[in-house]
Amino acid sequence: MSSQFKYTIEKRKDIGFLLNSLSIVIALIASIAFAAGLIALFGAEVDIVLKAIARGSFGSLHAIIDTLIKATPIMLTGLATIVAFRAKVWNIGQEGQLYAGSMGATFVILTFPDLNLPAVIHIPLLLLASMIGGALWGGIPGLLKSRYNVNEIIVTVMLNYVVQYLCTFLLNGVWQEPGSYYYNTIRFPQSTFLPLLFNTRLHLGFIIALLAALLVYFLIWKMKLGFEIRARGDNPVAASYKGINTKRVTLLVMLLSGAISGLAGGVEVLGIHHKLIWGFSSGFGFTGILIALLGRLHPVGVIVASIFFGALHNGASAMQIYSDVPRSLVNLIMGLIIVMLLFWEAVFKYRLRRVENVS
Amino acid sequence: MHSEADTPLLTVENITKRFGQLIVNDHVSFDVQKGHIHCLLGENGAGKSTLAKCIYGASKPDSGRIIFKGREVSFSSPRDAIRQGIGMVHQHFVLSEPMNAVENIIVGEESTGAILNLQKETESIQKLCDQYDVTFDLSLPISQLSVGEQQWIEILKALYVGVDLLLLDEPTAVLTPQEVERLFSVISKMAEEGISVILITHKLHEVMDISKKVTVLRKAKSIATVDTKDSSRESLAKLLVGRDFDFRVDKVKVGIGKPVLEIEELSVLRDNLTPAVDCVSLTLHEGEILGLAGVSGNGQSELFDALLGVRQALYGRIRLGEEEITNLSPAEISNKGMASVPQDRLKQGLIGNFSVKENLILGAHGNQPYCSGGVLNMKAIMDFSEEAIDHFDIRTMGPEQKVEQLSGGNLQKVILAREISHPVKALVASSPTRGLDINATYYVYNRFLELLKMKAGILLISEDLDEIFNIADRIAVIYNGCILGEYSIEDATIEKVGLLMAGL
C-alpha cells in the first residue's frame, strides 16, 4: 500500500485576523516596491527618493506635525465611510458632503459677520453648521434611497459635482472677497480659528478626528443604532423580519455619514485656510473611501491608514523637491495599494490543501 | 466464479471526500445490482448528495474506486457519466424555462445531429411517455408545468438518453402524495425493465415502500447495506441515528382555549402584484397546533410575511389575542407577542456574520434590559445569551461565535431561544424542521409542545405531511392562495389532504 499526495485549492471559511493583517502588509510592501521599480526605471536613484519620502513624512517634528495635519480631514471622511459602508449603504459622496460642510460654516460666518461671540461658543456653532451642511447633502441621497430606492451610488457621485459647482458659483459671486482675483472668501474673524496645539501648526481638528473615531467605535459596537447598521449591512432581510426599520437606518446612516464628512470640511477650513478657497480639498472625500477600505472599516484601522496616507502625501512633496520625481507618483501608489489589497484578499480566501490518496 | 447475474452494475469502494477539515464521505462502500431500486438513506449532512455527485461525475472523490459495468471509471464531468449510462435527477431541477418539454429533453443530446427533426423527437418521447404511463402536454413551455411535471421531464431526459443507472436526489420533497405514488410506480416499472435506480432519501417509509436494498449513511460513513424485506422502520431508524429511537411525541392534550390568532378574509399580493393569498380565514386557539399543508409556492410565504408585518395585507384583518395587528410594523407585532420561525434560517431568521449573542437579542435589541437610552447593555445581553445557550442546549464555542459557523440544528435552536424566551401568544413556524436531523427535529417538536402548555398557539406551515400529521391538532390545506379545506387531525387522511393540495 503506497500513499501519494495531491493538492487541491479550496475556499477558506474565515480569513482571520492574522491573514487579514498580512494581506494589508503585503499590499503595502508590494506597492512601494513596485513604485521603487518605477522610480528606478525613470532613472532616479531609489535610495535618495525613499530617503526623501521618509524625511518628508516622519523626519522631524515639523514633518510629523504636517503628517498629522494632512491625516485629519481624511481620517474624518474615512470614519464617515465606515458608518455608511458598515450598513452597506454605498455613500461615494464624501467629497461633496465635505464641501457642503465647509460651505455650512462659511455661510454662518458670512451671514452673521457681527456675532462677536467668544471662540468657545463660536467654534462649536460653526462645527455644528458644517455638520448640518454635510448631513443635508448626505440626506438627499439618503431620502431618495429609503423612500424610492434610488441607487445611492449614482446620486452621491452626481451630487459631488453639483455642490462643487455651487461652491464655485458662490465663490465667483456673492461670497467672493471684494476686489480679489481669486475664488475665495474674505479672511474669517479670529474667533473662528481652531486653537493650535503644543505651539505647533497642529490644530484642534486632529483631536476632534480622534474623538470622532472613538464615537464611531462606540456607535457601531455599543449602541442600538450601530447594531441596526451592522444588521442592515449583513442581512437586511433578516433585519427587517426582526423589526428593524431598514429604510430608517438607511436615512440615518446617510445623515450621519454626511455630517462626519461635513465636519471634515469645517475643520479643514477653520483650522488651516481660515477662509473658503476654491479647490481646497484635494480629493479628501475619495481618499477617505480608500482609507476606510484599507482600515477594514474599523476606526483604529482608519486612524492608522489616514496617518499613513498623510505621511505619503508629505513625503511626496519632499520627494519632488529633492529628486525631481513628480509628486503624482503618490496617487499611483495609492491606486496600487488598493488593487494589491483586493488581490491579496482574494488570494487569501483560498488555501492549498494536501489530500492523501491511498491506493 | 460469479455468474452474470451476480456481478453488480455499480460498485462503490472506499469513496472518501473531504471539504476542508470536514469529511463528507468516509470510506463509503456499497453495490447496486442490475434492476434494483437501491435507497441511500441518511439524515441531512450524512453525505448522500455528495456521494451521488461523485458517482455522477459532478464531483471527484479524494480517494476510492467506482466500478461501473465491470470497469473502473473516473468521470471528469457529468457528460462522461451520461455517455456511460448514468443519469441523475437533481433536487433542484436544471431546466430551461422558456423551452418546452421536448426541447429540454433533447438538449445536449448529440445523436440528434446538426439538424433537428422535432417531429421525430416528439414522437419518440411520446412513445416513452406511453410506455411509462406519463401524461402531460409535451409542447407547453416549462414555466407552465407543475413541479411534478417538471420532474417527469428530468426523468424522461434520462430515459431518452438510455441510462442503465438513474440517481434520484430527494425526488419526493416537492410532490403531493398522489404524485409520489405515480413516481414510485414509474420507478418500479423502470426497475422491471432492468434499469437500476438509486433513490436518495431521508424518509423511512419511502425506503420501506419501494426499495429492494438500502444503504444507510451516518456521519459520512456507510453503516450498513441491508435487504429491505429483512428490515423495519425501527431497525432502519436505529441504524440511522445510532441508537434506539422513539418516534412518539409526548403529546399531552393541553385543552384548546380561546382564539389567539384570528385571520379574517386576508388577501396579500406577491411582489409582482398578483394575488398570493386570496381571502384566507383561519383561527388559531390557545394550546393548539394548526398545520397548514400545501405544496410550496401556494401563498404560504406571503401569508407568513403578512402575519409578521413584513408584507402589507391588501384586504382583511389579523387579530393577535384581543388586539388588531393588521399592517402594523414587524417590531410592533413582535412586541405584542408574535413569534416566528422562518423557513430559511440563515436568510430570514439570522444574521450569519453576527455572533450567537447578537442573534439572540435581534429584535429585542432595543428593549429593556438589553438597551437603555440607545446604548446596548453588554452585561445583560451576555447574561441572557449564556442562559439561553444553556437552557436551549445550543452547541457553540461561546456567545461570541458567529452563527454562520453553527450546524442547522443549532441555528434553529438559536432562533427558538430568541423567539420563545419572551412571552408568546402565537408562533408562526414555516418548515421548522427542514434540513434537520431526527434529534434536532424532535427537539423542535418538544419545544413546541412546551410552548402549548404556556397557552400559546402554533401555526405550522409545512410541506411535510408526516410532520403535520405527527404533531398538529387541526390541518388546513392551502392551494393557490385559498384554504380548500380544514379537518381535525382525527378526520384527516393523507389521501384527502393530498387531493386538496393538488387543488382537486
Question: Residues of B with CB below 8 A from A355's CB?
Answer: 18, 62-63
Number of CB atoms found within 10 A of residue A279's CB? 11
Amino acid in position A328: S
Domain range for B413: 351-422
Confidence band of A47 (pLDDT split at 50, 70, 90):
confident
B342 located within any domain: no
**How many angstroms separate the CA of residue B333 from the nearest CA in chain A?**
9
The predicted pLDDT at position B2 comes to 45
Domain assignment present for residue B133? The answer is yes
Element (H, E) at A131: helix A119-148
Contact across the interface for B358 and A227, Cβ inside 8 Å:
yes
Does B131 share its domain with B45? yes
Shortest Cα distance, chain B CAs vs residue A206, angstroms: 26
Considering the domain architecture, whether residues B152 and B192 belong to the same structural domain is answered as yes
Per-residue pLDDT, A177: 84
Q: Quick one: B64 and B102 in the same domain? A: yes
Considering the domain architecture, whether residues B141 and B120 belong to the same structural domain is answered as yes
Helix count and strand count (H, E) for chain A: 13, 2
Are B285 and B400 contained in the same domain?
A: no
State mean pLDDT over A275-287: 89
pLDDT at B249: 65
Q: What is the pLDDT of residue A28?
A: 82
Judgement on whether residues B236 and B101 belong to the same structural domain of the protein: yes
Position A338 scores a pLDDT of: 80
What local confidence, expressed as pLDDT, does residue B415 receive? 95
| Cα–Cα dist B348/B328, whole Å | 19
Q: Which residues of B touch A358 (CB under 8 A)?
A: 63
Instruction: Report chain A residues whose CB lies below 8 A from the CB of B19.
Output: 10
By C-alpha distance, the chain B residue nearest A354 is B20
- Comparison of pLDDT for B154 and A137, the residue scoring more: A137
Separation of alpha carbons A129 and A107, rounded Å:
8
Nearest chain A Cα to B331, which residue? A243
Do B104 and B154 lie in a common domain?
A: yes
More confident residue, A29 or A239: A239
Amino acid A96: pLDDT: 95
Q: How far is A181 from chain B (nearest CA, A)?
A: 51
Rg (CA), chain A: 23
Q: Could you tell me if B333 and B440 lie in one domain?
A: yes
Q: Are residues B312 and B454 in the same domain?
A: yes
Same domain, B113 and B261: no
Q: In angstroms, how far is CA B396 from the centroid of its own chain?
A: 25
In this complex, do B334 and A10 lie within 8 Å of one another by their Cβ atoms? no
CB contact under 8 A, B18 and A230: no
CA pair distance B49, B167, nearest whole angstrom: 10
CB contact under 8 A, A238 and B308: no
The answer to whether the CB of A141 falls within 8 A of the CB of A156 is yes
Question: CB–CB of A242 and B362 under 8 A?
Answer: yes
Select the residue of A222, A238, A243 nearest B351 (Cβ to Cβ): A238
Q: Name the range with the highest mean pLDDT among A131-145, A163-177, B358-372.
A: A131-145
pLDDT of residue B110: 64
Mean pLDDT of A240-246: 93
Mean pLDDT, chain B cut into blocks of 10 residues (504 residues total): 65 85 84 90 80 87 88 86 87 77 77 73 84 80 78 84 88 80 88 90 84 87 87 82 64 77 93 88 93 88 94 93 92 93 90 93 90 92 93 88 84 92 92 82 89 92 86 92 90 85 78
Residue A40 contacts B, CB cutoff 8 Å: no
pLDDT digits over A48-80, tens only? 878 888 888 888 888 899 999 999 999 999 999
Same domain, B395 and B433: no
pLDDT at A1 over 60: no
Residue A137 above 80 pLDDT?
Answer: yes
- Nearest residue, CB atoms, A237 vs list B348, B353, B366: B348
Cis before A189? omega within 30:
no
What's the number of domains chain B is made of? 3
Domains plus CATH for chain A? Answer: 1-44+325-359 (no CATH), 56-324 (1.10.3470)
Q: Which amino acid is at A248?
A: R
Q: In the listed set B219, B241, B263, which residue is the last one of a domain according to the structure?
A: B241
CATH of residue B295's domain is 3.40.50.300
What's the CA gap between B480 and B483, in Å, rounded? 8
Confidence of residue A359 (pLDDT cuts 50, 70, 90): very low
Distance from CA of A57 to the nearest CA of B (A): 38
Residues from chain A contacting residue B340 (CB–CB below 8 Å) = 241
- From the candidates B351, B368, B404, which should be mutated to test the interface with A, based on the most A CB atoms within 10 A? B351
Predicted pLDDT at B477: 93
Give the closest residue to A180 by CA, choosing from A278, A47, A285, A315. Answer: A278
Where a domain ends, among B201, B219, B241? Answer: B241
pLDDT at B433: 87
Contact B365 A228 (CB under 8 A): yes
Q: Is the pLDDT of residue A81 over 50?
A: yes
Quick one: A113 exposed, middle or buried, by C-beta within 10 A (0-12, 13-18, 19+)?
Answer: exposed
Give the residues across from B139 on adjacent strands.
Answer: none
Chain B residues close to A240, C-beta within 8 Å? 310, 330
Calculate the average pLDDT of chain A: 88
Say how far apart CA B227 and CA B213 lie, in whole Å.
4
Whether the complex's predicted ipTM surpasses the cut of 0.90: no
Give A259-274 pLDDT, tens digit per residue. Answer: 999 999 999 999 999 9
Residues B42 and B170 in one domain: yes
Last residue of a domain, one of B405, B422, B439: B422
